[in-house]
Amino acid sequence: MIRRYFEAKRLRPQKNVATMLDLRGREIRVGKCPPEGVKVEVGHISRVTFVGYVVSKVSSDDVIVIDTTDAYKVLKGGDKINFENGKIEAQVLEVLNQEIKVKFLEEGVITQHSKMGIPGIRLKELPILKYDDESDLNQIAVK
C-alpha cells in the first residue's frame, strides 16, 4: 500500500495524494508464550509482569508477560481483568512494582499476542502510542 502511494506521488507530483495510517490505540497484548499456550485453572494465582517491548521473556503458568509497562498504574486490588478477548477472567489480588498478582476465576489457555482487558474507562490513562506505533509513525508516516 505504501509503495503504491509513493508510485502515485512520483507519477503525478503536482497532484495531492492522501494516505491514512491506522494505529491500534490503547490495547494490552500478552507477550511470548509457549506454543501450547499457558494453561490456567480456577483459583490459580499468577503474576502478570509488564515488560514493554522486551521480546526475550516468555510467559509461564507463574508469570504472564504483557507488552504495556504502565498497566500497573491503573489497576488496584479487587479489580477484574480478562485474557483471551474476555474468555478468561482474573481478579487482581495485589499491585506490585511493575507487576500484579492475580487469581484466575475461570480456566482456559492464554495464547501469545492475545488481548488482556481492563474493564472500565481507566484505559484512557494509558499512553496511546506504544513502541511499535512510534516506530511505524517514524518509518512510514513521517517519511
- What is the model's pLDDT at position 104? 97
Please report which confidence band the pLDDT of residue 99 belongs to, taking 50, 70 and 90 as the band edges: confident
pLDDT in tens, 9-65: 888 888 887 777 666 666 788 888 999 999 999 999 999 988 766 567 888 989 999
Please report which confidence band the pLDDT of residue 123 belongs to, taking 50, 70 and 90 as the band edges: low
Q: In order of start, what are the domains of the chain with their CATH numbers?
A: 25-119 (2.40.33.10)
Cell 496511546 found at: 128
Q: 2-6, 11-15, 77-81 — which is least confidently predicted? A: 2-6
| Higher local confidence (pLDDT), 52 or 72 | 72
Mean pLDDT for the chain overall = 82
The set of residues, in sequence order, having a beta carbon less than 8 Å from that of 30 and lying 6+ positions away, is 59, 64, 65, 66, 67, 83, 110, 111, 112, 113, 114, 115, 116
φ, ψ (nearest 5 deg) of residue 133? -65, -45
